[in-house]
A and B are shown apart, each in its own frame.
Chain A
Amino acid sequence: MTPEKRPFSHNLSYYEDMHLVVAKTRLSENVVRLDVSAPRIAEVRQPGQFVIVRLGEGAERIPLTIADADSDAGTLTLVIQAVGKSTKDLTSLEVGDSITDIAGPLGHPTELITSGRALCIGGGVGTAVVHPIAQELFSRGVDVMSVIGGRARDFVIFENELFRFGDVIVCTDDGSYGKKGLVTSVAQDILANSEIDIVYTAGPVPMMRAVANLTRPFGVKTIVSLNPVMVDGTGMCGGCRVSVGGQTLFACVDGPEFDGHEVDFEMLMDRLTTYRTAEKQSLNPNCQSRHASVSTHLP
Chain B
Amino acid sequence: MIAKSPDTPSKPTPKQRMLIERQHMPEQDAQARAANFGEVNLGLTEQLALLEADRCLQCKVPKCVNGCPVKVNIPQFIKHLSEGDLPGAAKCLLRDNVLPSVTGRVCPQESQCESECLRAHKGLSVAIGYLERFVGDWAREHSGDQTPNEVTPSGKTVAIVGSGPGGLAAAGGLAASGHDVTVFEALHKAGGVLIYGIPEFRLPKKIVEAEVRRLEKAGVKIVCNTIIGRTYTLQELQGQFDAVFLANGAGLPIFMNIPGENLKGVYSANEYLTRVNLMAAHEFPNSDTPVLRGKHVAIVGGGNVAMDAARTAKRLGAESSTIVYRRSKEELPAREEEAHHAREEGLQFEFLAAPVQVLGNEEKWVTGLKCVRMQAGEPDESGRARPVAIPGSEFVIPCDTVVTAIGSRANPLLTSTCPDLQLNKWGNIIVDENGMTSLPGVFAGGDIVRGAATVILAMGDGKRAAKAMDDYLRNTETESGSIRNNIMASLCDVNL
Q: Which residues of A contact B (CB under 8 A)?
A: 7-9, 12, 15-16, 40-41, 44, 54, 58-61, 85-86, 100-106, 231-232, 234-239, 241, 243, 248, 253, 267, 270-271, 273-275, 278-279, 281-282, 284, 287, 289-290
Contact in complex: B262, A248 (CB < 8 Å): yes
Q: Which residues of B contact A237 (CB under 8 A)?
A: 253, 268, 270-271, 274
Given contacts A9-B241, A282-B290, are A236 and B255 in contact (CB under 8 A)?
A: no
Shortest Cβ distance from residue B437 to the other chain A in the assembled complex, whole angstroms:
21
Shortest Cβ distance from residue A288 to the other chain B in the assembled complex, whole angstroms:
9
Contact in complex: B413, A253 (CB < 8 Å): yes
For residue B224, CB closer than 8 A to chain A, the reply is yes
Contact in complex: B241, A105 (CB < 8 Å): no
Chain B, interface size: which category?
Answer: 35 or more
Contact in complex: A15, B225 (CB < 8 Å): yes
Contact in complex: B264, A15 (CB < 8 Å): no
With CB as the reference atom, state the residue of chain A lying closest to B408: A236
With CB as the reference atom, state the residue of chain A lying closest to B221: A12
For residue B223, CB closer than 8 A to chain A, the reply is yes
Given contacts A9-B180, A103-B227, are A282 and B285 in contact (CB under 8 A)?
A: yes
Give the complex CA separation of A267 and B383 in angstroms: 41
User: Could you list 15 examples of A-B contacts with CB < 8 Å?
Assistant: A54-B188, A60-B288, A61-B279, A103-B226, A103-B231, A104-B230, A104-B231, A106-B230, A237-B253, A238-B270, A238-B271, A239-B271, A271-B264, A275-B290, A290-B288
Q: Which of B263-316 contact A (CB under 8 A)?
A: 264-265, 267-268, 270-271, 274-275, 279-280, 283-290, 292
Give the complex CA separation of A78 and B152 in angstroms: 45
Give the complex CA separation of A93 and B203 in angstroms: 36
For residue B252, CB closer than 8 A to chain A, the reply is yes
Proximity bits, B106-137, A CB within 8 Å = 1, else 0? 00000000000000000000000000000000
Give the complex CA separation of A236 and B411 in angstroms: 7
With CB as the reference atom, state the residue of chain A lying closest to B360: A270
Shortest Cβ distance from residue B288 to the other chain A in the assembled complex, whole angstroms:
4
Shortest Cβ distance from residue B290 to the other chain A in the assembled complex, whole angstroms:
4
Chain B interface, >50% SS class:
loop
Q: Which residues of B contact A85 (CB under 8 A)?
A: 288
Given contacts A9-B182, A274-B292, A282-B290, are A15 and B188 in contact (CB under 8 A)?
A: no
Q: Which residues of B contact A273 (CB under 8 A)?
A: 264
Given contacts A103-B188, A236-B252, are A15 and B413 in contact (CB under 8 A)?
A: no
With CB as the reference atom, state the residue of chain A lying closest to B254: A238
Contact in complex: A289, B286 (CB < 8 Å): yes
Shortest Cβ distance from residue A45 to the other chain B in the assembled complex, whole angstroms:
10
Give the complex CA separation of A7 and B232 in angstroms: 13
Contact in complex: A284, B413 (CB < 8 Å): no
With CB as the reference atom, state the residue of chain A lying closest to B293: A278
Contact in complex: A40, B231 (CB < 8 Å): yes
Give the complex CA separation of A177 and B434 in angstroms: 67
Contact in complex: A103, B186 (CB < 8 Å): yes
Shortest Cβ distance from residue B347 to the other chain A in the assembled complex, whole angstroms:
23
Q: Which of B167-226 contact A (CB under 8 A)?
A: 180, 182, 186-188, 221, 223-226
Give the complex CA separation of A281 and B286 in angstroms: 10
Q: Which residues of A contact B284 (CB under 8 A)?
A: 278, 281-282
Given contacts A15-B223, A105-B231, are A287 and B267 in contact (CB under 8 A)?
A: no
Contact in complex: A41, B231 (CB < 8 Å): yes
Q: Which residues of A contact B265 (CB under 8 A)?
A: 274
With CB as the reference atom, state the residue of chain B lying closest to A268: B262
Q: Which residues of B contact A290 (CB under 8 A)?
A: 286-288
Given contacts A9-B157, A12-B223, are A278 and B270 in contact (CB under 8 A)?
A: no
Q: Which of the residues B224, B288, B364 comes within 8 Å of A59, measured between beta carbons?
A: B288
Q: Which residues of A contact B230 (CB under 8 A)?
A: 104-106
Give the complex CA separation of A26 and B290 in angstroms: 28
With CB as the reference atom, state the residue of chain B lying closest to A89: B288
Q: Which residues of B contact A231 (CB under 8 A)?
A: 271, 274-275, 279, 289
